[in-house]
Amino acid sequence: MKPNKINQQRVNTMLFEIIRTENYEDMSKIAAKRVIGKVQQKPDAVLGLATGSTPEGLYKEFIKDHKENGTSYEKVNTVNLDEYMGLDRNDKNSYFTFMREKLFNHIDIDLENTNVPNGMVSDMEAEAKRYEEHIKEIGGIDLQILGIGHNGHIGFNEPGTSFDSRTHVIELAESTREANSRYFHSIDEVPTHAITMGIQSIMDSKEIILLASGAGKAEAMKKLVYGEITEDFPASALRLHKKVTIIADKDALQLI
Ligand code: PGA
């Protein structure tokens, strides 16, 4: 086999397959290859998608591959992890808008098949239930993409969230609002609440790829791999999942 041009190192732990890459670009490329492979093998796959700066490079790779190689998303369904509460879906900071601008408007996906929770409805409980039921109706998530917060959140499941949780409304941690204030004029504009798929909803995915980049994520990655399994560190639930691949750059994995 031709050696992969991308410099990567595989680390096998009992728990996760870890792919250590040289940098962010390689992390994005390797992750894209896996996800695109899944779509080629199962053209009607259900993909769980994430927002934030970590998966942006991955989405760029999808678009590039779609244009150059014609991988089709016509039959793919997508389910996003979360949405801010109280932001109009057309707000530039809504995750609905993020997904359209960074991915959906540039590939052949049927927008009807894309799903982001609605942070504007008055009955949040009903919206959470609807979202869970819809995930079930489309057959469950084949492959979920995750980022990780500095405090170990996955989706917007902040520390203390029950591992049994399903889609629910959550109060954002102050550190999350601070981290995300970079997209807003000031921290006061960052919503205080969000609707997020729960830990159990994420754990129900058949396969998970967690991405991380940069030294700022190193402590969180160390806790994820070596720390205890506890609701105080939501990502640690992933240690109980059978098929999680971590694809992260060497800065994020410097303590592993
Ligand atoms: P980031 O966010 O990709 O912007 O670092 C990750 C997260 O908070 O889950």
CA of 147 to the centre of ligand 1 (A): 5
Residue of minimum CA distance from atom 8 in ligand 1: 149
Structure confidence at residue 11 (pLDDT): 52
Q: On the CB side of 75, how many CA atoms lie within 13 Å of its CA? A: 10
Active site amino acids = 82, 151, 153, 158
Q: Which atom of ligand 1 is nearest to the CA of 55?
A: 3
- Domain definitions of the chain by residue range: 4-249
Residue of minimum CA distance from atom 7 in ligand 1: 149
CA-angle at 95, arms to 141 and 217, nearest 5°: 80
Q: What is the pTM of this model?
A: 0.93
Ligand 1 in contact with 52 (CB < 6 A)? yes
Structure confidence at residue 1 (pLDDT): 42
The 10s digit of each residue's pLDDT in 176-218 is 999 999 999 999 999 999 999 999 999 999 999 999 999 999 9
Ligand 1 in contact with 119 (CB < 6 A)? no
The stretch 143-151 carries a mean pLDDT of 97
The 10s digit of each residue's pLDDT in 59-73 is 999 999 999 999 999
Domain 4-249 falls under CATH 3.40.50.1360: yes
Ligand 1 in contact with 149 (CB < 6 A)? yes
Residue of minimum CA distance from atom 4 in ligand 1: 52
Instruction: Pick the range with the lowest mean pLDDT from 2-11, 21-30, 239-248.
Output: 2-11
Q: Which atom of ligand 1 is nearest to the CA of 148?
A: 9
CA of 244 to the centre of ligand 1 (A): 18
Rounded to an integer, what distance in angstroms lies between the CA atom of residue 93 and that of residue 212? Answer: 21
Structure confidence at residue 15 (pLDDT): 74
Ligand 1 in contact with 148 (CB < 6 A)? yes
When comparing pLDDT for 174 and 15, which is higher? Answer: 174
Structure confidence at residue 194 (pLDDT): 97
CA of 242 to the centre of ligand 1 (A): 23
Q: How confident is the model at residue 104 (pLDDT cuts 50, 70, 90)?
A: very high
- Position 58 pLDDT exceeds 90: yes
- Position 29 pLDDT exceeds 80: yes
